Amino acid sequence: MDFDALLLSRLQFAFTIGFHIIFPAFTIGLASFLAVLEGLWLYTKKPVFRNLYLFWVKIFALSFGMGVVSGVVMSYQFGTNWSEFSSQVGSVIGPLLAYEVLTAFFLEASFLGIMLFGWKRVGPKLHFAATCTVAFGTLISTSWILAANSWMQTPQGYDFAADGTMIATNFIDVIFTPSFPTRLAHMVLAAFLTTAMVVAGASAFALLVKRAKPESLTALRMAILMMAIVAPLQLVAGHESGVVAHEYQPAKVAAMEGWWVTRAQQPTLLFGWPDQDAETTHAAIGIPGMGSWFTVGDANAVVKGLDAFKPEDRPPVWITFWAFRVMVGMGIAMVGLGIWGAVVWITKRLERATLYQKALVLAAPSGFIAVLAGWISAEVGRQPWVVYGVLRTADAVSPVPAGSVATSLIFFIVVYAIVFSAGALYILRLMSKGPDTEEPQLKDANEPPGSPLGTGVKSAAVKEG
Amino acid sequence: MLGSELSTIWAILIAVAVLLYAALDGFDLGVGILFPFAKDGHERDQMQSAIAPVWDGNETWLVLGGGGLFAAFPKAYAALMPALYLPIFLMLLALIFRGIAFEFRHHGRKTGKRWWTVAFAGGSITAAIAQGLVLGGFIQGVNVVDGKFVGGPLDWLTPFSLLVAAALTIGYALLGGAWLVFKTQGELFERARTWVKRLAILTALAMGAVSLATLGVDQRVTYRWGLTMTSIDWPTFIQLAPLPLVCGLLCFLLWRGADLRHHAAPYLYAVGLFAVGYVGLAVSLWPYIVPFAMTPAEAAAADNALSFMLWGAAPMLPIILGYTAYVYWLFRAKVTDEATDH
């Protein structure tokens, strides 16, 4: 393999966006969770919701900060590393990203200030409105970025200008591509599930070490409710997304499924070792016909395999195949944990179910793993195209020397390793402490929480040495 | 609307976004640049509190600048970003350290907090220098053939870009110091006043040096100001002479404002200084969006993309400015002595 600017730029983009997506995937769900907690607190006046809000908002602030700084990188990387892509498609998807900044980024950033530092300056209702605005902003942002990415997966509503660059013929078509609705639903549900798994894991941990019992039980119930409802829904959304992908990106689906031969009765492989050179999947174990049935609703339907595409038009199969399996595996585990949780809850054994609690602690990162694996299979499965069927990744790269890209990539790896380790340390440290139940009772229910809330203000009193 | 009008509107909008970025995140970065000069950890907590609620919104103008350039002028974006590859990434990496330090400083214990204090100051200083290198590399022009960058990876590194980097760092420090005069009280207020008075003089010198050096980057700039090696075209020069004169006057007013213990005036004068300097630069480089290679009309996205975005920007920008102003109004009070009490 030749470490040229193209490969290095691909590695850098994969690394930086893979790092970035972890944080939005978590904060999209967490912002909504915080809005629900604050709403419940305002409505019921129960301190348990306030304590939970004050606990999770610190974790939110840390994660959101890391999401912001790793996100700024993305808005420049299109130009630095993918300048041909930028000049080719700027007139088509550039406006979608501009709308994202105008309608979401400013909203989130500005109201985040009120959410974190505004307790003493605005009333509880206005503060709640700020939390809701941030949550809403994260969802608007998700919609625009998924619209842009879905256009790259299933492009439509474009034409070529005289100079060879792409122009939009209809922006409504550009935004609402065939894969957009299902992929947006799939991503939003994934974000909610990711948050639910983290909240469940942290709450279960607190119960196991017997801390903040009322808070942890409440949060655990909320997380189980989310899991039990959303995890099965996610299977449906994922399936619908797969059906659309099969219609518009059959090579991707063939790679996900490890199908090399076009045939009837395509199997669903439970295991296999795809071999790109031998054009086969070794040691394949699967259920015959199930693949055809999943994609077209008929086990006897003939479904395209990778032999329907020229070798240079096929995505890397091994990565796509396995990333897809990891994602589905995590999804099924979440469905299982949701059902298990519902049973334990209904039979009123939630407090004592230590085995279940341990399983939740273990499964806390499952949402992150599923999101990363899902995006890997979606993006690698789109290869060798950056805009499916229109612009090849190899034709999109910037005219920069490999040395420059290698330099920036090495620095990214070092910096992200430091940032991620420290961030994870601080978040895990907060989680192991659990919600603060020592918060003094409020004299007036409408009074904002007594202790100054920034983000971990108490520890800020620590003097620098 | 005509394509050339649309591209002019977008060029102005993006230029304004970049100026707003400099005026707003400039003071955030300036506070970080001044971090090493604070007396102790408590004073640094106060300094960070003075910007903590607004820095994220301020940095978003940089995203609008980059994203807006991609969307409205994809060809300029595609030519400039590869040319400025290394300083752009230096800036992004530095901004990462600056940004996370807001949260991480509060969560770190003794060693951790010390490390994130260094990261905040180092990130702010490096980001300011990198932005100066980007600006310097931009002003001196990039080597473009058929819309593609064809130069080398270190073309941006010249004595001129280093001079601009030093000047921008000083300018941001001035904005930061003036912001602290506005937002703090007591001992830190007094210290910030001293900083501003010194930085006003340094900024005047730096701006003068950059202005003279800019005249030398390309003959077109020299002619724009009515100057040649041997003669001065007085009618042209007189028209533009108010710009440097106003800059000099603003530096004096700034110094005097700090001396007379005014609170808001120094920051407003500092922003005025940035604005006038920016106009001077725009005058020098007009009509290029990629200096001496591309005009806005040449670099612009398709007309329908520009007008589609204008339909969004026309209502959204006033709304954004409105709630930004509201947030600033909400946090208008000076940082109290118990600095960590946000």
Residue of B nearest to A59 (CA): B103
Q: Which of residues 188-227 of B touch A (CB under 8 A)?
A: none
Distance (Å, whole) CA A364 – CA A194: 8
The reply to whether residue B305 touches residue A167, judged by beta carbons under 8 angstroms, is yes
Q: Is the pLDDT of residue B340 over 60?
A: no
Q: Which of residues 77-96 of A touch B (CB under 8 A)?
A: 78-80, 83-84, 86-87, 89-92, 94-95
Q: Tens digit of pLDDT for each residue in B233-283?
A: 888 888 888 899 999 999 999 999 999 999 999 999 999 999 999 999 999
Q: Which of residues 112-151 of A touch B (CB under 8 A)?
A: 112-114, 116-118, 121-122
Residue of A nearest to B62 (CA): A72
3-state DSSP assignment of residue A346: helix
Q: What is the ipTM of this complex?
A: 0.92
Q: Which of residues 299-328 of B touch A (CB under 8 A)?
A: 301-302, 304-305, 308-309, 312-313, 316-317, 320, 323-324, 327
B106 interfaces chain A, CB cutoff of 8 Å: yes
Predicted confidence band of residue B337 (pLDDT cuts 50, 70, 90): low
Please tell me the predicted confidence (pLDDT) of residue A445. Answer: 41
The reply to whether residue A455 touches residue B340, judged by beta carbons under 8 angstroms, is no
Please tell me the predicted confidence (pLDDT) of residue B80. Answer: 94
Structure tokens at B335: 């940082």
Of residues A84, A102, A161, nearest to B302 (C-beta):
A161
Per-residue pLDDT of chain A (465 residues; tens, 9 = 90+): 567 999 999 999 999 999 999 999 999 999 999 999 999 999 999 999 999 999 999 999 999 999 999 999 998 999 999 999 999 999 999 999 999 999 999 999 999 999 999 888 898 999 999 999 999 999 999 999 999 999 999 999 999 998 889 999 999 999 999 999 999 999 999 999 999 999 999 999 999 998 888 999 999 999 999 999 999 999 999 999 999 999 999 999 999 999 999 988 899 988 999 999 888 888 888 888 888 888 888 888 889 999 999 999 999 999 999 999 999 999 999 999 999 999 999 999 998 899 999 999 999 999 999 999 999 999 999 999 999 999 999 999 999 999 999 999 999 999 999 999 999 999 999 999 888 876 555 444 443 443 333 333 333 334 443
Distance (Å, whole) CA B183 – CA B50: 6
Please tell me the predicted confidence (pLDDT) of residue B224. Answer: 87
The reply to whether residue B78 touches residue A84, judged by beta carbons under 8 angstroms, is yes
Question: What's this model's pTM, rounded to 2 decimal places?
Answer: 0.92
Distance (Å, whole) CA B318 – CA B314: 7
Predicted confidence band of residue B51 (pLDDT cuts 50, 70, 90): very high
Q: How many Cβ atoms from other residues are within 10 Å of residue B12's Cβ?
A: 12
Predicted confidence band of residue B222 (pLDDT cuts 50, 70, 90): confident
**Max Cα separation, chain A?**
74
Please tell me the predicted confidence (pLDDT) of residue A443. Answer: 42
The reply to whether residue B316 touches residue A103, judged by beta carbons under 8 angstroms, is yes
**Chain A nearest CA to B90, separation (Å):** 8
Structure tokens at A371: 């999101």
Please tell me the predicted confidence (pLDDT) of residue B338. Answer: 52
- State residue B269 phi and psi, 5-degree precision: -65, -40
Predicted confidence band of residue B28 (pLDDT cuts 50, 70, 90): very high
Q: Tens digit of pLDDT for each residue in B302-314?
A: 999 999 999 999 9
CB B328 within 8 A of CB B23: no
Torsion angle in degrees (nearest 10) through CA of A141, A161, A10, A95: -10
Give B342 or B51, the one with higher predicted confidence: B51
Distance (Å, whole) CA B2 – CA A84: 26
Distance (Å, whole) CA A187 – CA B131: 35
A66 interfaces chain B, CB cutoff of 8 Å: yes
B3 interfaces chain A, CB cutoff of 8 Å: no
Distance (Å, whole) CA A87 – CA B311: 22
